[in-house]
Amino acid sequence: MQRYKAIVSYDGTDYVGFQRQLNGKSIQEELEKALYKMTKGMSIGVVASGRTDSGVHATGQVIHFDYPAILPIQRMQKALNSLLPEDIRIDSVEIISSLFHARYHTCGKQYMYHVSLGEYQSPFKKRYALHHPYRVNIDKMKQALQDVLGEHDFTSFCSTKTDKENKIRCVTKADIVYKEEEQELIFIFEGNGFLYNMVRILVGTTLQIGDGLKPVTELKRLLTVKNRQEAGPTAAPHGLYLTSVFYKPENQWFQTYEENKGMMVVDTTN
């Protein structure tokens, strides 16, 4: 079995998320169906860097899978893309060490969230950007986001449905880019990990600050109170994109493999 690593883009609008679920089609299911056809009936598990929720998009999701033959990477990419729906695309493929693990070797991710500020939402954006037709103070929002940089307990910015007990994460970038011609805000977040709905709650709360409904110190206060009920709304999923996944250096893969060996066996069968 040869291990392959691939970068995947997808429009998440018509999917229940990346992970297989019983209540609808998923990105993982479509990828595994394509591999099933390529191997003429062999079930091959696809492992991703992490889940994305229903409606969330990706331009830089990373997966790995073990294939029972060595194919040139261009042939592998072409074969998969020919069998996948048009809203899922394999952007690149590489042959990689069997020690590499798309999930357990991550050391950080980048997410972007798109907000359309125009009075009327473009029909070409309604699936890909949150419509927020209000005048916002971008400088105040940028100032507020500086308070989430560094290591904090993000309980206030995490869905109560999470199964994670440890809510401490380190955010290394929290910024906003404004595209004036398109009347669009792009929130950019980078960190060593993100909790369930964390980016979407940060966006929803920061927009309240931009609207003047909350003070510029609100994010700092919420980090202290550790109460999801006091934070702003969870922004809609269709504005969110997983754009990049960062990985540990190759010389750390074996150590991580040994630490997670038992968990990795379970994960690859999902």
Active-site residue numbers? Answer: 53
Cα separation, 119 vs 223, whole angstroms: 33
| Residue 245 host element (H or E) | strand 240-247
DSSP three-state, residue 52: coil
Residue of 51, 62, 44, 60 lying closest to 6 (CA atoms): 62
List the one residue out of 26, 69, 170, 175 whose CA is nearest residue 113: 175
Cα angle: 129, vertex 130, 135; to 5 degrees: 115
Residue whose entry in the numeric block shows the structure tokens 């990419």:
77
Q: What are the E-state strand segments in 39-182?
A: 47-48, 57-67, 88-95, 106-116, 130-131, 150-153, 168-179
> Residue with structure tokens 């969230």?
113
Torsional sign, CA 177, 189, 32, 8: positive
Which helix (H) or strand (E) is 8 found in, with range? Answer: strand 2-10
Residue 109's nearest CA partner among 197, 202, 181, 172 is: 172
